[in-house]
């Protein structure tokens, strides 16, 4: 019964979306107040209907209702509750329902928080949001319905992929989708502005919190996925340039560019055409990611099932959305005036450079990810593009971006000169040298590239501090005054400094863990030990073990640090009966200075076990950096001036001073 | 600065950045495209030692041997018409077995043995890597779907 209610709610949501996607557009066009007013309640009702459907599916999973095909295929009665819930989105149908849920959530959020938007504009935004919703609801109802029944119901379910039975992964999809789908609001704002044929600084102010929010969630989602790959796959890596990873990384790069170009629209009333195009591209890349991951063209842990009809549907939808928005863009772009050419050395000049580098980076990742697919489709030749390609293309583009990243925030709007900030740049060079010296005394230099990475991080570190020092005018010498100024610094400025600091932390983590990692691979018999850096690992043997829904072999290592007992590590190999699968559970002892990472493999038949042990310096700084970036984004979002309930158009135009504050 | 001059600067910078990116992509493609080859394709193609590619097929029955106390594994990858000897140091994936599909990445050594730096066997017992399945179909040795395409294959 509950399942039927869910099914019915889903179909109703589709009906509401059809109304919301058409009538408000007509209303806004012909000036019919009643139809315009329809958009808000419709968006809220649509969200509640999809939430109801989602709740019904979750109930079916929690109660293990195996008469529902989706539950029977993907759940199991012996599974812990957390994974019964996570199992809702651990499969194709459920994860698409989550996609729609988040899409309608953003629609409802615009309806509720967008009170200050002009009614006609808001109606158009919500209508565009509903048009996207129609596409995905059709997709769910007709090709990926999670509410279908099976008769007779099986005694027990097929189980969830054991790799996905992990707390980190339980929250990876919702967070990632909040980011991915969150860019739909930026898209809807852009399309609505194109329909109206007008963009002004206030538009930038409206759209910025939505972009920021989505960006924060996507940053967190990607970091969580990377962290999961690090500890769950047992390969010790944290990013593999796998097409599925790239699918979420491309919207992140484009979204980062968008985040910065929106600021130029807001502050300088420029770069409008480009920003609108970028908003369209960012969401298109989100859709492309959904297509890559959901259609089954890629075989990966994310490709739950391969059904060509689904792939064709998403591809067609992708073509329609991207095609029609680009046509609209081509027709209307010329009416969006305001493309000024600014001084090269200015805040906005550097933001343009930021966008240029990020766009080039998106391009390289795009080519590297899609070229194998194109080649396969056209010639049938199987190729893959691995990490070396991306290291050779992506990294060289990022280096100048990071160099400029330390300078840009110090420049003034409109016009600035390099000489004015030369003092701080000198400090940056000193900082870079300091980090290199520390790195050299702490460990030997493995490569010039590693030193360059450390120098880059040091340079950026100083740059971030300079943003705040600049504000506080520490150079004036009056410390008390400066501290007061610092306390009064807008949250957004703090956010700027902290997010960029996150990048510096991330670079330190990547460089150190890649350069000074120690890997030891050997056969060990109980009692044998191996030295890894300052740590001595003694293998104590392996023993069988029974878990709640798996059996395992657990190895134990006693670790000594400089002779003193330090920690015991117990990696496992787990064998799951449903679905039959073996997973490697690495044992990790995380420290700020680096991680100890141990994996135990197969026995060699003569009493020894293959083991792999890593010492990874500063590796947790990689995710720490991402977390700090996210924190910076959230602080910007908290800034009173960027709140979703931002000042109305009239009020803002009267106070140009409000626009001058960085 | 006159607007014209500013525009010129912008265009020059944009062209430089995008041009550099395009150059990077083209040279990197040239050197880092990793082809997928089956043992029969490898036999007719001349691949330089040291050039990375992916070799896929089945782990030949009875070919797996452990050397160096078990840390190095030697086996043969076959598509049932040709076979290539492979050498790999490291932990094998959990479902690496004789007769199962496997994809290895690495390069040919000067001794004619493929030195794998990476061995991928899918985690699902019945799952066959897509490239391997297609290659077997091409060579006419496909035995039909052994079991299911799991709902949560990977």
* ipTM value: 0.81
B63 in the same domain as B104: yes
Does some domain include residue B147?
no
Instruction: Please say if the pLDDT value at position A275 is more than 80.
Output: yes
Percent of all residues in chain A with a pLDDT value above 70, rounded to a whole number = 92
pLDDT at A48 over 90: yes
User: A185 to chain B, minimum CA–CA distance in Å?
Assistant: 29
CB contact (8 A) between residue A581 and residue B24: no
* Token digits of residue B33: 């495209």
Q: Residue A526: its pLDDT value, please?
A: 93
Chain A residues 524-563 with a CB less than 8 Å from chain B: none
Q: B88 with B18, same domain? A: no
Interaxial angle between packed helices A243-268 and A272-294, expressed in degrees from 0 to 180 and rounded to the nearest 10: 160
Q: What is the CB neighbour count within 10 angstroms for residue A256?
A: 24
Nearest CA in chain B to A398: B21
- Whether the per-residue pLDDT at B124 is higher than 60: the answer is no
Q: Which residues in chain B are contacts of A235 at CB distance < 8 A?
A: none
Among partner residues B131, B150, B153, which is closest to A382 by beta-carbon distance?
Answer: B131
B43 with B113, same domain: the answer is yes
Q: Does residue B95 sit in the same domain as residue B27?
A: no
**pLDDT interval class at A597 (50, 70, 90):** very high
Same domain? B26 vs B41: no
pLDDT band for A374, please (50, 70, 90 cuts).
Answer: confident
Could you state, in order of their start, the residue ranges of all structural domains in chain A?
1-165, 197-399, 417-516+621-629, 518-618
- On whether both B70 and B116 belong to a single domain, the answer is yes
pLDDT for A104 equals 97
Cβ–Cβ contact A582 with B under 8 A = yes
- Residue that has been written with the tokens 């049938």 in this structure: A380
Check A356 against B124: CB less than 8 A apart. Answer: no
Query: What does the pLDDT read at residue A321?
Result: 94
Number of domains in chain B: 2
Q: If you average pLDDT over residues B29-49, what whole number do you get? A: 86
Both B28 and B45 in a single domain?
no
pLDDT at A62 over 90: yes
Chain B contact present for A148, CB below 8 A: no
Residue B45 and residue B114 in one domain = yes
Is A360's CB within 8 Å of B1's CB? no
Tell me, yes or no, whether B63 and B131 share the same domain. Answer: yes
Q: What range defines the domain where residue B21 resides?
A: 1-32
Asked if residue B89 and residue B48 are part of one domain, the reply reads: yes
Nearest-angstrom CA–CA distance, B3 and A206: 30
Locate tokens 């400089």: which residue? A562
Distance from CA of B112 to the nearest CA of A (A): 22
Q: Residue A357's pLDDT band (boundaries 50, 70, 90)? A: very high
DSSP one-letter code for A149 = B
pLDDT of residue B85: 94
* Token pair recorded at residue A276: 């609108």
State the Cα–Cα distance between residues A358 and A365, nearest whole angstrom. 11
CATH number at residue B107: 2.40.50.140
Is A95 part of the contact surface with chain B (CB cutoff 8 Å)?
A: no
What pLDDT score does A445 carry? 62
Q: What does the mean pLDDT of chain A come to? A: 87
CA A203-A492-A643 angle, to 5 degrees, is 45
Minimal-distance CA residue of chain B relative to A160:
B152
Assess whether B25 and B41 both reside in one domain.
Answer: no
- Tens digit of pLDDT for each residue in A197-243? 888 889 999 999 999 999 999 999 999 999 988 887 777 788 888 88
> How remote is the C-alpha of A380 from its chain's centroid?
32
Contact state of A74 with B152 under an 8 Å Cβ cutoff: yes
Q: Quick one: B108 and B79 in the same domain?
A: yes
Has residue B92 been placed in a domain? Answer: yes
């Amino acid at each position: 019964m509950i399942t039927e209610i869910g099914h019915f709610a889903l179909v109703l949501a589709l009906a509401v979306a059809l109304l919301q996607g058409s009538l408000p557009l007509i209303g806004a066009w012909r000036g019919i107040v009643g139809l315009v007013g329809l958009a808000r309640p419709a968006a809220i009702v649509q969200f509640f209907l999809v939430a109801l459907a989602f709740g019904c599916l979750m109930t079916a999973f929690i109660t293990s209702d195996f008469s529902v095909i989706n539950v029977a295929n993907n759940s199991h009665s012996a599974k812990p509750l957390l994974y019964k819930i996570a199992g809702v989105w651990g499969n194709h149908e459920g994860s698409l329902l989550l996609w729609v849920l988040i899409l309608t959530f953003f629609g409802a959020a615009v309806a509720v928080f967008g009170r200050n938007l002009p009614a006609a504009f808001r109606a158009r935004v919500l209508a565009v949001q509903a048009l996207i919703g129609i596409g995905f609801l059709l997709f769910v109802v007709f090709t990926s319905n999670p509410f279908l029944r099976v008769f007779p119901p099986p005694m027990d379910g097929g189980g969830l992929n054991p790799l996905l039975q992990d707390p980190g992964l339980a929250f990876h999809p919702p967070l990632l989708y909040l980011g991915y789908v969150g860019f739909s609001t930026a898209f809807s704002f852009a399309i609505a502005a194109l329909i109206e044929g007008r963009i002004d600084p206030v538009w930038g102010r409206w759209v910025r919190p939505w972009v920021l929010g989505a960006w924060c969630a996507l940053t967190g989602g990607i970091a969580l996925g990377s962290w999961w790959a690090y500890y769950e796959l047992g390969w010790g890596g944290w990013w593999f340039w796998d097409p599925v990873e790239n699918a979420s990384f491309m919207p992140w790069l484009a979204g980062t560019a968008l985040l910065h170009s929106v600021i130029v629209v807001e502050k300088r009333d420029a770069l409008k055409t480009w920003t609108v195009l970028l908003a369209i591209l960012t969401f298109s890349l989100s859709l492309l990611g959904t297509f890559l991951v959901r259609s089954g063209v890629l075989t990966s842990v994310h490709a739950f099932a391969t059904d060509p009809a689904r792939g064709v549907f998403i591809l067609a939808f992708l073509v329609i959305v991207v095609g029609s928005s680009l046509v609209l863009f081509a027709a209307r772009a010329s009416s969006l005036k305001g493309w000024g050419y600014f001084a090269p050395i200015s805040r906005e000049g550097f933001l343009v450079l930021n966008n240029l580098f990020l766009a080039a980076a998106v391009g390289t990742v795009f080519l590297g990810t899609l070229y194998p697919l194109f080649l396969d489709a056209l010639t049938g030749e199987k190729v893959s593009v691995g990490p070396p390609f991306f290291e050779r293309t992506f990294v060289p583009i990022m280096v100048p971006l990071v160099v400029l990243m330390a300078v840009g925030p110090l420049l003034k709007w409109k016009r600035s000169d390099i000489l004015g900030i030369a003092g701080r740049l000198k400090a940056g060079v000193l900082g870079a040298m300091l980090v290199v010296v520390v790195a050299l005394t702490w460990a030997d230099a493995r490569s010039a590239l590693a030193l360059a990475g450390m120098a880059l991080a040091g340079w950026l570190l100083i740059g971030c501090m300079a943003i705040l020092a600049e504000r506080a005018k520490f150079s004036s010498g009056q410390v008390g005054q400066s501290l007061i100024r610092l306390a009064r610094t807008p949250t957004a400025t703090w956010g700027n400094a902290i997010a960029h600091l996150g990048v510096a932390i991330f670079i330190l983590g990547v460089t150190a863990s890649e350069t000074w990692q120690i890997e030891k691979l050997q056969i060990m018999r109980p009692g044998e030990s191996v030295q890894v850096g300052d740590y001595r690992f003694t293998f104590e043997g392996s023993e069988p073990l029974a878990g709640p829904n798996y059996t395992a072999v657990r190895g134990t290592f006693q670790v000594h640090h400089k002779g003193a007992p330090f920690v015991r590590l117990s990696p496992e190999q787990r064998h799951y009966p449903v679905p039959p699968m073996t997973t490697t559970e690495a044992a990790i002892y995380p420290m700020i200075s680096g991680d100890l990472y141990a994996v135990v493999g197969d026995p060699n038949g003569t009493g020894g076990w293959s083991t792999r042990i890593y010492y990874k310096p500063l590796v947790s700084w990689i995710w720490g950096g991402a977390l700090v970036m996210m924190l910076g984004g959230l602080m910007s979002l908290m800034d009173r001036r960027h709140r979703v309930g931002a000042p109305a158009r009239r009020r803002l135009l009267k106070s140009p001073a409000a626009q001058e504050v960085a | 600065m006159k607007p014209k001059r500013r525009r010129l600067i912008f265009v020059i910078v944009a062209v430089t950045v995008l041009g550099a990116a395009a150059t990077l992509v083209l040279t990197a493609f040239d050197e880092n495209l990793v082809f997928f080859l089956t043992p029969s394709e490898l036999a007719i193609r001349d691949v330089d030692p040291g050039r990375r590619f992916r070799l896929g097929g089945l782990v030949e029955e009875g070919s797996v041997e452990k050397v160096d106390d078990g840390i190095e594994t030697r086996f043969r990858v076959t598509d049932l018409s040709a076979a290539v000897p492979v050498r790999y140091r490291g932990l094998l994936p959990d479902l690496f077995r004789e007769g199962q599909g496997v994809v290895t990445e690495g390069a040919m050594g000067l001794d004619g043995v493929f030195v794998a730096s990476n061995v991928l066997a899918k985690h699902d017992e019945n799952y066959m890597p897509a490239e391997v399945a297609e290659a077997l179909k091409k060579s006419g040795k496909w035995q039909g779907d052994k079991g299911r395409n799991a709902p949560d294959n990977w």
